[in-house]
Amino acid sequence: MDNFWVNAVFSLVPTLLVGAIFWLVMRSIIRMDRTERKVYARIEAEERARLGLDKPAH
């Protein structure tokens, strides 16, 4: 019976590790994308303000 549980653990550990690594990589990619979009929006707003494009066209 001991051999069964050892085999079960050894068969699940690699899958869990690969899943955790995949989750960490995807999480970091999504966070980097979110940060990049925020920075780009801030730069765009600064450029619009500098050029006077924020005023409504009436």
Q: At residue 56, does pLDDT exceed 80?
A: no
Mean pLDDT of 9-25: 96
pLDDT level of residue 2 (50, 70, 90 thresholds): confident
Coil/strand/helix, residue 57: coil
Q: How far apart are CA 4 and CA 9, in angstroms?
A: 9
**Residue 48 neighbours by CB under 8 Å, 6+ apart:** 54
Coil/strand/helix, residue 52: coil
In this structure, what token pair is assigned to residue 14? 């690699």
Question: Over the stretch 18-54, which tens digit does the pLDDT of each residue have?
Answer: 999 999 999 999 999 999 999 999 999 999 999 887 7
In this structure, what token pair is assigned to residue 47? 């450029």
* Locus of tokens 């940060």: 35
Q: At residue 1, does pLDDT exceed 70?
A: no
